Amino acid sequence: MADTGTEDAAREEDEDEDDEDVNVALLRQVPLGIIFARIIVVSAMSFAAAGAIFFLIGAIWVPALACAGGTIVFLFLMFFIERGAESGSHSG
């Protein structure tokens, strides 16, 4: 027969961890502008990457290189936005 005291303690510990997760989520609310910026940058990066692939399939090199360059620019922009979001959440 299992010890119910141990099970109850484990259940209470799980509930405490869930409460801590909720508290952390409430503290780390991301501003709406950051969310829109993430969506736009990720969408633009995916369109640029798709364009690069399609142009490469068609052997149209100059637009393929331009789209690949755009993909890299959007990738770095995404890192820049994420770093700004992290530094903004730590200062508040």
String of DSSP letters for 69-84: HHHHHHHHHHHHHHHH
- 59 with 92, same domain: the answer is yes
- 57 with 42, same domain: the answer is yes
The pLDDT tens digits along the chain (92 residues) read: 555 666 666 666 666 666 666 665 556 677 788 889 889 999 999 999 999 999 999 888 999 999 999 999 999 999 888 887 777 666 55
- 65 with 88, same domain: the answer is yes
- 19 with 36, same domain: the answer is no
- 4 with 45, same domain: the answer is no
Conformational region of residue 57, where left means phi above 0, alpha means psi within -120 to 50, and beta covers everything else: alpha
Question: For the chain, what is the domain count?
Answer: 2
| pLDDT in the model for residue 90 | 60
pTM of the predicted model as reported, rounded to 2 decimal places: 0.60
- 70 with 87, same domain: the answer is yes
* The pair of three-digit structure tokens given for residue 80, joined into one six-digit string: 């820049």
Question: Which residue range is the domain that position 35 belongs to?
Answer: 31-92
* The pair of three-digit structure tokens given for residue 70, joined into one six-digit string: 């755009």
| pLDDT in the model for residue 76 | 93
Query: What DSSP state is assigned to residue 68?
Result: H
Q: How many residues are recorded in the chain?
A: 92
- 87 with 67, same domain: the answer is yes
- 38 with 78, same domain: the answer is yes
- 10 with 38, same domain: the answer is no
